[in-house]
Amino acid sequence: MTSPAIETAGLRKAYGRTVALESLDIRVESGEVFGFLGPNGAGKTTAVKLLLGLTRPSAGGGSVLGRPLGDLETRRRIGYLPELFRYQAWLTAREVLGLHARLGGLDSGQRHSEIERVLALVGLEGRGDDRTGGFSKGMQQRMGLAAALLGDPSLVILDEPTSALDPVGREDVRAIIRHAQARGSAVLLNSHLLGEVERLCDRVAIVNRGRVVAAGALTDLLGQAAVRLRVTGLPDDRAALVAFGGLEDDGEGWLVARGLDEERVPDLVAAIVGLGGRVHAVDPGRRSLEDLFLDLVRVPEAVA
């Protein structure tokens, strides 16, 4: 059985009197893209640093790729894009990546082709010989992503990989993350762009004040949807639709189906059409990750 990419139990970090991470329990399976979410100051970057062995836990522990936290050999199998990135301004992109490739223990014979592969992957193939000091913020972030993907690491940890990117760049990063997963990497994705997380991740954990407040598959966390259909021409006799549960008219031209399995929506549409109705729109009505996030982390206003 393959060990999980990440497993932590009661992971805690205090800096003096500031508790950065209270108690973290998460499990990321090998090969999955896992969303690690939470408001500013929730402890996400602290958790990432603990996973990488860049700082030591105050209590609790865990394993990464089946080895204890801080294991140096394991560090070479993890690609990491830090939240605050700054590269040696006097080096070219190829030189920076060469440095990372050597530190990551890539074979000398493999280095050149790997550097060219990741440069092309992040769309910097034409800029490899330019000094990174002259790169825009978004280009620097792309280069950091390239460095994190060198050598197909078993685990890729991305701390806000799209914070500096334009919408096209974000779309590129989604494709790059899917590509890394297809090549066998597990990805821990820390992002405030919840739409992005929703599109990429099967499972997420939301942390608040150093603790996990929700974790699991997105389909479970976001719950069953109330599917809404805009329908005209439906006869009064709707006996044929009884099998789809209680359908309600919302009074504004929409038919609302509660608790209907998404798989059955096409059958419902076909049944409506069979009765002579016309379906103009279908809204899956799923609760967004953003709604869930806000419900979980919004601090109630203090009552004066």
Ligand X SMILES: Nc1ncnc2c1ncn2[C@@H]1O[C@H](COP(=O)(O)OP(=O)(O)OP(=O)(O)O)[C@@H](O)[C@H]1O
The window from 39-47, 67-75, 162-170, 195-203 that contacts ligand X (CB under 6 A) reads 39-47
Burial (Cβ within 10 Å: 0-12, 13-18, ≥19) of residue 129: exposed
**Three-state SS string across the chain, please?**
CCCCCEEEEEEEEEECCEEEEEEECCEECCCCEEEEECCCCCCHHHHHHHHHCCCCCCEEEEEECCEECCCHHHHCCEEEECCCCCCCCCCEHHHHHHHHHHHCCCCHHHHHHHHHHHHHHCCCHHHCCCEHHHCCHHHHHHHHHHHHHCCCCCEEEEECCCCCCCHHHHHHHHHHHHHHHHCCCEEEEECCCHHHHHHHCCEEEEEECCEEEEEEEHHHHCCCCEEEEEEECCCCCCHHHHHHCCEEECCCCEEEEECCCHHHHHHHHHHHHHCCCEEEEEECCCCCHHHHHHHHHCCCCCCC
Among 5, 20, 155, 227, binds ligand X (CB under 6 A): 20
The amino acid that residue 117 corresponds to is R
37 binds ligand X (CB under 6 A): no
Query: Closest approach of Cβ 14 to Mg ion, in Å?
Result: 17
162 binds ligand X (CB under 6 A): no
Query: Which residue number, 51 or 146, has a Cβ lying nearer to ligand X?
Result: 51
63 binds Mg ion (CB under 5 A): no
Among 4, 35, 43, 60, binds ligand X (CB under 6 A): 43
43 binds, among Mg ion, ligand X, none (CB under 5 to 8 A by kind): ligand X
- Return the residue nearest ligand X (CB atom): 20
208 binds ligand X (CB under 6 A): no
What number of chain residues touch Mg ion (CB under 5 A)? 3
Q: How far apart are alpha carbons 162 and 171 in whole angstroms?
A: 9
What number of chain residues touch ligand X (CB under 6 A)? 12
Among 21, 34, 45, 142, binds Mg ion (CB under 5 A): 45
| Residues 65-104: x where in contact with ligand X by CB under 6 A, - otherwise, as a string | ------------------x---------------------
- Return the residue nearest Mg ion (CB atom): 45
162 binds Mg ion (CB under 5 A): no
Query: Closest approach of Cβ 52 to Mg ion, in Å?
Result: 13
Q: How far apart are alpha carbons 248 and 110 in whole angstroms?
A: 62
191 binds Mg ion (CB under 5 A): no
38 binds, among ligand X, Mg ion, none (CB under 5 to 8 A by kind): ligand X
Among 35, 38, 79, 144, binds ligand X (CB under 6 A): 38
127 binds ligand X (CB under 6 A): no
Query: Closest approach of Cβ 43 to ligand X, in Å?
Result: 4
Where do contacts with ligand X occur on this chain (CB under 6 A)?
15, 18, 20, 38, 40-46, 83
